Structure formats: C-alpha cells, structure tokens
A and B are shown apart, each in its own frame.
Chain A
C-alpha cells in the first residue's frame, strides 16, 4: 500500500443506520482530514486531526464523529445517516498541519443515503 486508502469505495445506506468510513495512510503523516464534496459546493472540511490523539471540527461537523487512536487511521462515523449526507467523502493527509503543507487525497467513498 502506498498513499491513502479508503473503504468502502461506495455504499448505499438506509436512513437511520450507523456507518463508519475507513481511512488509512502509510506515509506517517501527522495531519489527517475528512471532506465531503457536493456538486456546486466544492470540498468542505468535516473534521480534522493535527496529530494522533487530537481531533477538531471543520466547517460541517454536525452528524459526524471521528477518532484518531494512531497515526495511520482516521475513521469517520455517521451515527444515524440522513439523506443530506449523500455525498462523496474524501480523506486527506499532510505531513504536518502547517501553512505550506500539501494535502494528499484518498480515492473517495461515494455514499448514497436513502
């Protein structure tokens, strides 16, 4: 494995169900991020983690939670999915959380909530 992997690739989910999107990176990056991408709105930050053991809220955190138990993994959980959470979810990472740090993106998870 090289870079960032996300699972599942796509998912159809019934409203009200709980779902965890997985993200793993093997670059030993300290900072990780979750974005959602919706047509016409661009990428919006959901949650982030500057280093293992810490997390923070982004622009659209409601309905989502994250954890960062170790450097490599950053799962995103939807506690009770709603149709408005239908989106493409991208996980990203950067070596650090500083100004010049480039973020590298995973392949995305396409989620449809019915």
Chain B
C-alpha cells in the first residue's frame, strides 16, 4: 500500500505563517495534491505539484521534492477561516489517489 505521513495537528496565530509537511512512499508517482476540508464539509482542491519546486497561489504555496518524497503546504497571513484540515494526496503509478490522514490547523486570534 501507499504510505503518506503528515502531522496530526498544528496551531498558529492569526497573521502568522504555518508550514504543513507531507512525506510519502508510493508505487510510482504522478503528482501530489493538497486539499482543504472544513469540519463537516467536502474536501476542496488547493494545489497540484508534479515537478520539483514551488507553486504559489495567493496566500498558499506548495513545494515538492520528488527525490526526497517530500512536500509542504505553506499558509501565509493566516486568517480565522483557514482553520481546517489539510489533506496531502499522492497519485501513484496506477493513477490512483491516496490520501494522508490530514493535518488539522487551528488559527487563534
């Protein structure tokens, strides 16, 4: 099976920066996704990386290193509405998407 690890919980202050790390070991690699999921709601797409490097999209950035099996999601200028779970997902060699257990981020005033 696939192995995708990310921290269970993180807490940060409004206006701060938080970095959520994700390490993975999968059978083949066809891209890495980050999803945001608010409590009781469906996951929504945040970012996609298939090549090494940083992808920036507003306050959110995602980084990938394929050789290290490592990605991070960077959330800048944190807002209260950013309190949610963040899911790291890897598309394997068979194009199946495997998810990590998610990181719950709590933003405090």
**Complex CA distance for A35 and B89, rounded to whole angstroms:** 13
Q: Which of B4, B30, B97, B100 contacts A103 (CB 8 A)?
A: B97
Q: Which of A12-20, A42-50, A63-71, A74-82 contacts B (4 or more CB under 8 A)?
A: A42-50
**Complex CA distance for A84 and B62, rounded to whole angstroms:** 35
Chain A 20-60 interface 0/1 with B at a Cβ cutoff of 8 Å (1 = within): 00000000000001010000111111001000000000110
- By a CB distance below 8 angstroms, the chain B residues around A102 are 33, 45, 48
Q: Which of B4, B42, B98 contacts A107 (CB 8 A)?
A: B42
Looking at the assembled complex, report how far the CB atom of B5 sits from the nearest CB atom of chain A, in whole angstroms.
11
A42 in contact with B43 given A100-B50, A102-B48 (CB within 8 Å): no
Q: Which of A42, A45, A105 contacts B100 (CB 8 A)?
A: A42
- By a CB distance below 8 angstroms, the chain A residues around B44 are 105
A97 in contact with B101 given A106-B42, A107-B41, A108-B42 (CB within 8 Å): no
Looking at the assembled complex, report how far the CB atom of A62 sits from the nearest CB atom of chain B, in whole angstroms.
15
Looking at the assembled complex, report how far the CB atom of A57 sits from the nearest CB atom of chain B, in whole angstroms.
10
B96 touches A43 (CB 8 A): no
Looking at the assembled complex, report how far the CB atom of A29 sits from the nearest CB atom of chain B, in whole angstroms.
14
Q: Tell me whether A1 is interfacial, beta carbon within 8 Å.
A: no
A45 in contact with B96 given A99-B30, A100-B50 (CB within 8 Å): yes
Shortest Cβ distance from B96 into A: residue: A45
**Complex CA distance for A42 and B86, rounded to whole angstroms:** 11
B42 touches A105 (CB 8 A): yes
Shortest Cβ distance from A33 into B: residue: B97
**Complex CA distance for A106 and B101, rounded to whole angstroms:** 19
Looking at the assembled complex, report how far the CB atom of A27 sits from the nearest CB atom of chain B, in whole angstroms.
14
A104 touches B97 (CB 8 A): no
**Complex CA distance for A102 and B101, rounded to whole angstroms:** 19
Which residues of B are at the interface with A, using a C-beta cutoff of 8 A?
1, 4, 30-31, 33, 41-45, 48, 50, 87, 89, 91, 95-102
Give 6 nearest A-B pairs by CB, closest first.
A99-B30, A105-B42, A42-B101, A43-B99, A42-B99, A102-B45
